[in-house]
């Protein structure tokens, strides 16, 4: 396979960055195949391997369909009896591919099922006329491998989005977390070389692709993910959201929402809460710390770890654990919170931070990955360098000492988040597709001319 890649590596001349003017006359795709091997767009985000990427794929696909680009999303069937084809929205189909046992497969075991998955994708394609798909857009490295083979077979360009990168994750591991395997690093390196375009969430991610994976800078396009501004908005405010969730109107509520695993570092929030209570025991009667999400990744090994930590820290009475919730309910949790806390060790973008801000809630986040783009330090929240719980406690203390910050920063946060609509993201993504197709056709013509 490595030889195959090295042959492919030189396939494309380095294209220039996509520009609207240059490709104004080019045709945008009519129909694309989107690949999401390890997580279905129909799954509940916040549990298992479902998270921001699921939301990203669903929202992007719907908005692409709205601008007349049909999307077919291929994903692995994880339960029996699923319809092979499900309409997610007008112009968006989800195809369930049988590859390996339905349940009980960890993400780490999925590389062994990629051949079966590729076979399923090829079977679906075989039923169509030639040229049915104009382009392949793969998400995460597992899908990238299938996408690379599909794009080669179909004679169309491959656009790939990493979402997260093994080398970046391994460079900033949480204590006790498991490093990403070498096979993933090799796989990602191959995909970076084979893809016609790489979509990065932020300028920093684009730089990381070049620095860690030697990506051709001309192939990398930066498109910020969006947020569903109809769902995540201040709506009827904090008090009403708290009433719906049965939370006290005047409590200080620092919220964690996301998958419970060392990478996301919910333990930092618990330790910071313990520091705050030590500094001011009277807080005990007016602070609630909700943890909304389910165990995932290496967190599955110790699903009760956080509950045990809360008990050890002596704060079990102020911490409330809630299973993952649907998007509308999640929006209410964001509205109800005084502040969202995101102490992640690595975050390619941090969609949750934008969603919370869109709902009118400030954010205290780690200064890692895309979070400095998502959060405006000192305006819509605070960025914390490092992972010292005392530093997080200090940031939270500012909201306690100056309660007006919750509302003033919350208003600034909602305003900031409005620039991250999905329509903008879909339009920019369509430009990347058009540029990739233009470049691909030009390359094919030059070779057959």
Per-residue pLDDT tens over the stretch 212-252? 999 999 999 999 988 999 999 999 999 999 999 999 999 99
* 19 CB-contact burial (10 Å; exposed 0-12 / middle 13-18 / buried 19+): exposed
Annotated binding site: 38, 44-45, 49-54, 107, 140, 164, 184, 259, 264, 325, 334-335, 337, 347, 355, 361
Count the Cβ atoms, other than its own, within 10 Å of residue 328.
9
Annotated binding site for UDP-N-acetyl-alpha-D-glucosamine: 44-45, 52, 259, 264, 325, 347, 355
- Are 413 and 380 spatial neighbours (Cβ–Cβ below 8 Å)? yes
The arithmetic mean of pLDDT across residues 110-131, rounded, is 89
Of 164, 243, 196, 143, nearest to 436 by C-alpha is 196
- Please check the confidence at residue 300 and state whether its pLDDT lies above 70: no
- pTM of structure: 0.80
Structure tokens, 403: 């309660």
Residue 250 C-alpha from the chain's centroid: 32
Structure tokens, 95: 């195809």
Range with the lowest mean pLDDT among 73-87, 195-209, 365-379, 384-398? Answer: 73-87
Cα 121 to Cα 291: distance, rounded to the nearest angstrom: 38
Annotated binding site for Mg(2+): 334-335, 337, 361
- Please check the confidence at residue 392 and state whether its pLDDT lies above 70: yes
How large a percentage of the chain has pLDDT more than 70? Answer: 90
- Please check the confidence at residue 18 and state whether its pLDDT lies above 80: no
Cα 346 to Cα 213: distance, rounded to the nearest angstrom: 17
Write out the E strands in 301-354: 319-322, 339-342
Q: How confident is the model at residue 299 (pLDDT cuts 50, 70, 90)?
A: low
Counts for the chain of helices (H) and strands (E), in that order: 16, 14
Structure tokens, 202: 């932020």
Which residues 6+ apart lie within 8 Å of 92 measured at CB? Answer: 61, 62, 65, 70, 71, 72, 73
Cα 75 to Cα 88: distance, rounded to the nearest angstrom: 13
pLDDT of residue 10: 32
Mean pLDDT of the chain: 88
Annotated binding site for 1D-myo-inositol 3-phosphate: 38, 49-54, 107, 140, 164, 184
Structure tokens, 27: 């045709």
The arithmetic mean of pLDDT across residues 359-369, rounded, is 95
Write out the E strands in 323-409: 339-342, 363-366, 381-384
349/204: higher pLDDT: 204
Q: Taking the alpha carbons of 142, 143, 146, 147 in that order, is the dihedral positive or negative?
A: negative
């Amino acid at each position: 396979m490595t030889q195959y890649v090295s042959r492919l590596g030189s396939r494309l001349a380095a294209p220039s960055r996509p520009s609207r003017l240059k490709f104004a006359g080019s045709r945008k795709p009519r129909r694309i195949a989107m690949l999401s091997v390890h997580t279905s767009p129909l799954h509940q985000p916040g549990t298992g391997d479902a998270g921001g990427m699921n939301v990203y794929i669903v929202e992007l696909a719907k908005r692409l369909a709205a601008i007349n680009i049909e999307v077919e999303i291929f994903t692995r069937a994880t339960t029996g009896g699923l319809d092979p084809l499900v309409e997610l929205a007008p112009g968006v189909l989800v195809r369930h591919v049988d590859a390996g046992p339905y349940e009980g497969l960890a993400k780490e075991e999925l590389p062994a099922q990629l051949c079966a998955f590729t076979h399923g994708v090829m079977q679906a394609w075989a039923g169509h006329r030639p040229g049915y798909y104009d382009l392949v857009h793969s998400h995460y490295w597992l899908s990238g491998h299938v996408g690379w083979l599909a794009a080669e077979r179909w004679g169309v360009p491959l656009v790939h989005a990493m979402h997260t990168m093994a080398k970046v994750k391994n460079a900033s591991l949480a204590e006790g977390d498991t490093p990403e395997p070498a096979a993933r690093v090799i796989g990602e390196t191959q995909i970076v070389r084979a893809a016609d375009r790489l979509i990065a969430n932020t300028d920093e991610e684009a730089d990381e692709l070049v620095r860690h994976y030697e990506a051709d800078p001309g192939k990398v396009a930066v498109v910020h993910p969006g947020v569903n501004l109809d769902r995540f908005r201040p709506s009827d405010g904090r008090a009403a959201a708290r009433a719906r969730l049965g939370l006290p109107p005047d409590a200080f509520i620092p919220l964690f929402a996301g998958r419970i695993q060392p990478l996301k570092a919910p333990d930092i929030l618990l330790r910071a809460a313990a520091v705050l209570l030590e500094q001011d025991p009277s807080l005990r009667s007016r602070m609630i710390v909700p943890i909304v999400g389910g165990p995932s990744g290496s967190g599955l090994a110790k699903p009760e770890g956080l509950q045990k930590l809360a008990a050890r820290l002596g704060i079990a009475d102020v911490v409330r654990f809630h299973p993952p919730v649907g998007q509308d309910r999640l929006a209410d949790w964001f509205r109800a919170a005084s502040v969202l806390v995101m102490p992640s060790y690595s975050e390619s973008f941090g969609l949750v931070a934008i969603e919370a801000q869109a709902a009118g809630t400030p954010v205290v986040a780690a200064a890692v990955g895309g979070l400095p783009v998502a959060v405006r330090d000192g305006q819509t929240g605070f960025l914390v360098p490092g992972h010292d719980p005392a530093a997080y406690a200090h940031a939270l203390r500012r909201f306690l000492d100056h309660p007006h910050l919750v509302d003033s920063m919350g208003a600034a946060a909602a305003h900031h988040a409005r620039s991250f609509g999905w329509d903008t993201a879909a339009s920019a993504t369509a430009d990347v597709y058009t540029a990739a197709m233009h470049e691909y056709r030009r390359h094919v013509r030059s070779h057959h001319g």
